[in-house]
């Protein structure tokens, strides 16, 4: 049933963005991409999105700030944070909503986390 869900991926690394998009398209998810937090907010304002995957550290609007904006626009949006900086998770910086994955993210772990988040609905 993956084809029923739309996922927005926000990351300032274009290579990672392309890889994640390909991983998510394989099982049938509709994938939207944003190269920064501001672009992600514009997409959220204009398009239906079921789940957002965001890098934590991005220039301008970081992943945590993006999540706050996203929840204002889409209160039921599921969020998955990805970061290469594990201390952000240990310090409790991740807001109460959302799962957290450490970079480099394995495709199977990402897909399993997405399924978990979407089943919560």
Looking at residue 45, which CATH number applies to its domain? 3.40.50.2300
Kindly state whether residue 120 falls inside one of the protein's structural domains.
no
Q: Which residues contact 83 (CB under 8 A, 6 or more apart)?
A: 55, 56, 57, 63, 89, 100, 101, 102, 103
Kindly state whether residue 42 falls inside one of the protein's structural domains.
yes
- Domain containing 12 equals 2-105
Kindly state whether residue 80 falls inside one of the protein's structural domains.
yes
* Strands lying side by side in the sheet with 51-55: 30-34, 6-10, 51-55, 78-83, 99-102
Tens-digit pLDDT profile for residues 6-32: 999 999 999 999 999 999 999 999 999
3-state secondary structure of 74: coil
Kindly state whether residue 89 falls inside one of the protein's structural domains.
yes
Tokens representing 70?
């996203």
Domains held by the chain: number: 1
Kindly state whether residue 12 falls inside one of the protein's structural domains.
yes
Kindly state whether residue 117 falls inside one of the protein's structural domains.
no
3-state secondary structure of 100: strand
* CA–CA distance, 98 with 37 (Å, rounded to integer): 16
Tens-digit pLDDT profile for residues 33-91: 999 999 999 999 999 999 999 999 899 999 989 999 999 999 999 999 998 875 555 45
């Amino acid at each position: 049933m993956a084809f029923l869900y739309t996922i927005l991926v926000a990351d300032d690394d274009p290579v990672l963005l392309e890889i994640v998009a390909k991983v998510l398209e394989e099982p049938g998810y509709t994938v939207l991409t944003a190269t920064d937090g501001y672009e992600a907010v514009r997409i959220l304002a204009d398009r239906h999105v079921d789940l957002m995957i965001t890098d934590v550290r991005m220039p301008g609007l970081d992943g945590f700030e993006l999540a706050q904006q996203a929840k204002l626009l889409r209160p039921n949006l599921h969020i998955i944070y990805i970061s290469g900086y594990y201390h952000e998770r240990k310090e409790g910086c991740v807001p109460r909503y959302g799962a957290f994955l450490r970079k480099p993210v394995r495709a199977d772990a990402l897909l399993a986390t997405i399924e978990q988040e979407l089943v919560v609905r």
